[in-house]
Structure 1
Amino acid sequence: MALVVVKNPVAGGGRSAALWNACRGRIGELFPDHRIVETLPGQMAEQVRAAVEADGDRVLVLGGDGTIGAAAHGILCSSRPHTPLSFLACGTGCDFARNYQWPGAPEECLEALASATPGLVDVIRLEVWREGQWFALTHALNIASVGVSGAIIARMAGRGSLIDRLPPTLRYRLHCIFGIVAYRSRRVEVRVDGSVLADGPILVATVCNGGWFGSGLHVHPQTRPDDGLLDVVAAGCGGVAGNLAMFAAFDRGTHLVHPRVAYGRGTVVEIAPAADRQNEHAFLEADGEPYRGDRLRLTVLPGALTVALPPLMS
């Protein structure tokens, strides 16, 4: 079996390099026939697609949610979309990995991956409305969200501040606080399977295939990446103080009972600017990567991706 090891050298502020140094010997023992693809910014999905179509029978990612999501997109866009995906998460948030039962040390995780039985998980297909029709944008494996979360990701992508020298999780939380203070809400309409879930100023609307985002915020406890459904959580704006309180509620896991939060489940989610805000672009992120768009459609693709991973959390 030819294994493609996808290594993001900058994931998690250098965690990927440390993980590689700790695991490279064991990877060679478990997967003698392997080659390494070191990712380049903006080219990850294409690199994975090319590697899979060349000789890759399986993909192992060492990186964060963005790298894992890009690898999934690359596999699905290849001529071999059923190629199994495995990963060792080492990014800033490692949120999709939280859906699985990991055994412990990296070497033990590798052994679990080597013996894992391939299974199927759902994927989110993202499309954007342009020039009178829907265009494919990307696939997301964990979560896509609109609002302050997208603005925070865009802020982090700018880099260069003193905050960026801090440990990844602390860095993200500080960017969240500063991003919430600076955020100016957009009026959007969120529809789930054609029914309006939310219509008004939105702090954040999350479309979830996995249960966690934002470096450990548990969006919804019922979310599973193999149930054929998307869980949608939309939180309305409440001024700077109210928005910071909402962030604290997400952090505590009490947001679902908040009066400004709406929740729904379905297979197709549409997010569009309110009628009086048609020229405004929403801040969108998918698996921690920033995108731009105004009218968006997110569709679950049940069982679209083959994975070789430990068991899902019960």
Structure 2
Amino acid sequence: MSRLRVGLLSNPTAALGTAHRVGRQVGNLLRLSGISVVDLSGSSAHVARARALEVRNTLTALVVVGGDGTVSLGAEVVANTPVRLGVVPAGSGNDFARALGLPENNPQEATRALLHALSRPVVTIDAIEITAASGTALPHRSLALGNVNLGFDALVNARANSASRGHAVRYTTAVLRELPAFRPLPYWLSIDDGERIDMDASLITLSNSGVFGGGMRIVPEARVDDGVLELVTLTGIGRTKLLRFFPRVFRGTHTTVEGFGVQPVQKVTVGLRNDRRLRAYADGEPRIDLPVTARVLPGAVRILAELKRGDR
């Protein structure tokens, strides 16, 4: 164990500072286990990313402590490298950790899980790469491990991020506030480089983990290591039915709703047929305005976790 060097990256603002405290606990526990730990946390995601990239080639693993946005930052650093990604959930949503069954609110158990995974064979999972369909260059590579939200769910995410309550409460409140003015959006899509499809939809999501919105299992059968993404669409549904739809997602009874569809894809380009500006959200964070292209990167991330039966 003494030869292992682990980078530790905590989000200082996640869960009102909880992640920073948890990160210190995890760092101390790893050091007590004989692992060399280098703290890469910064005052911003930009600073933390730069620090992690600077020492990446010297690391055995990068452990991120925070919410889904911090996890995706870690994925951007380690994707397609030998460095393994460890996740300690300490954010407000923790949907990716929930999808993998990782220990929540328990730094000791989370550290034990990391140490166990470090001693086990490498496990790889897929990632989602997000690019501007217009060809505009992004400041850095944009990856997600959970979902890319492109419809009503993106609007709700934007509103929820501006609130200060717990994630599940924020999301539910944002749904109720966003709904009165919402109308299905006029999309165009190209699936796996196929012909353009026009579609009016309330919901368009690219899902890898199958979980979003603080525990909504939008695709209960999603797998993080199958080499495909799940294209989720919801069409032909008005505001009243849309309001009833989201509670059903928590219960897992939404898959029988008329107009709900799931299709395995490898690449999707999505845009709007009008002039409305809509920003894509991924793993809870704002990314770029539509049109966007999202594609699966099979086995791009080496994850410090044992995939449970439901994940595989």
Same fold (TM over 0.5): yes
Cα 1:17–1:135 change in 2 (3 A) is closer
The aligned counterpart of 2:11 is 8
In the alignment of these two chains, the number of paired residues is 300
The aligned counterpart of 1:73 is 76
Q: Among 289, 293, 305, which residue is 1:309 paired with?
A: 305
For structure 1, the 5+ residue unaligned runs are: none
- For 1:84 and 1:222, the matched residues in 2 are separated by 25
Using the TM superposition, give the Cα deviation of residue 298 of structure 1 relative to its aligned residue in structure 2, in angstroms: 1.1
Aligned-residue identity in percent: 23
- For 1:23 and 1:3, the matched residues in 2 are separated by 11
Code of the residue aligned with 2:50 in structure 1: it is E
- For 1:263 and 1:197, the matched residues in 2 are separated by 18
Cα 1:198–1:241 change in 2 (3 A) is farther
Cα 1:8–1:103 change in 2 (3 A) is closer
Code of the residue aligned with 2:255 in structure 1: it is L
The aligned counterpart of 1:298 is 294
Q: Among 151, 156, 159, which residue is 2:155 paired with?
A: 151
Deviations 1:30-51 (A, max 9, x none): 2531111223334143343233
- Note if 1:115 corresponds to 2:111: no
The aligned counterpart of 1:40 is 43
Code of the residue aligned with 1:109 in structure 2: it is A
The alignment partner of 1:85 has SS state of strand
Identify the range of structure 1 (255-264 vs 61-70) with the bigger mean alpha-carbon deviation: 255-264
Code of the residue aligned with 2:110 in structure 1: it is C
Deviations 1:58-115 (A, max 9, x none): 1001111000001111223xxx722111011111111111232446743122112112
Q: Among 29, 52, 55, which residue is 1:51 paired with?
A: 55
The aligned counterpart of 2:100 is 100
Using the TM superposition, give the Cα deviation of residue 249 of structure 1 relative to its aligned residue in structure 2, in angstroms: 2.6
For structure 2, the 5+ residue unaligned runs are: none
Instruction: Summarize the alignment of residues 134-173 of structure 1 with structure 2, pairs less than 5 Å apart.
Output: 135=137, 138-157=142-161, 159=162, 163-164=163-164, 166-173=165-172
Root-mean-square deviation (Å): 2.5
- For 1:263 and 1:238, the matched residues in 2 are separated by 16
Using the TM superposition, give the Cα deviation of residue 22 of structure 1 relative to its aligned residue in structure 2, in angstroms: 4.3
Code of the residue aligned with 1:251 in structure 2: it is F
Code of the residue aligned with 1:119 in structure 2: it is V
Identify the range of structure 1 (38-47 vs 299-308) with the bigger mean alpha-carbon deviation: 38-47
Q: 2:159 touches 2:174 (CA, 8 Å); kept in 1? A: yes
- For 2:113 and 2:181, the matched residues in 1 are separated by 44
Q: 2:132 touches 2:293 (CA, 8 Å); kept in 1? A: yes
The aligned counterpart of 2:30 is 27
